[in-house]
Homo-oligomer: A and B are copies of this chain.
Amino acid sequence: MIVLGVDPGTIQMGYGVIKSDDQRLSYIDCGVLKAPAKVPMEERLYMMFLKLKDVIEKYHPGEAAIERPFVSKNAQSAIAIGQAQAVAILAAQEKGLTVFQYTPSKVKQSATNYGGSTKDQVQRMVWLQLDATAGTKVGGSAGLGYPFTETFDPTDALAVAICHTYELRLANSLAQLK
């Protein structure tokens, strides 16, 4: 099954696409959807919505996993978080995907076995688990043999997708025990 992971934001939104076979995860794509900060907020949200739908049309994921923070610095940033989440949710729903949401600490716990991991640790664990050390479309390398991404958003999005596949496996395993 193909899974889309999303790290929602109103200025830039990270996305990651992975494939999950029975025992194996593999990397398909990741990147950042951007909308110019100068553009009015209303248009920016719509640009993100259209761009995310394009990604879904390209890879046909069956499920979407979206990061859902519960806290924020202030009301203004919380409102922006809610807007970005809604953009991702509506784009996924419109394309018929089932939507799942995970808190940042759940994603870190799942992708690195430690809820307090740094973004850098999450990034390294993501690439290790996807075995994406070479030949990916991300281009370049961070000097550690890992694909290079300009920001943490794409790997955060991949981490959400990885988290979701682990949760699904766990649920399936538990179902088989019954």
Contacts and interface: CB of A to CB of B under 8 A. Distances in A.
Interface of A: 41-43, 45-46, 49, 69-72, 75-76, 78-87, 89-90, 92-94, 99, 101
B72 A75 contact: yes
Copies of this chain present in the complex amount to 2
A79 B78 contact: yes
A103 to B, nearest CB: 12
20 contacts: A42-B89, A42-B99, A45-B86, A46-B89, A49-B90, A70-B75, A70-B76, A72-B79, A78-B79, A79-B85, A80-B82, A81-B82, A82-B83, A82-B86, A83-B83, A83-B86, A84-B86, A86-B87, A87-B90, A90-B90
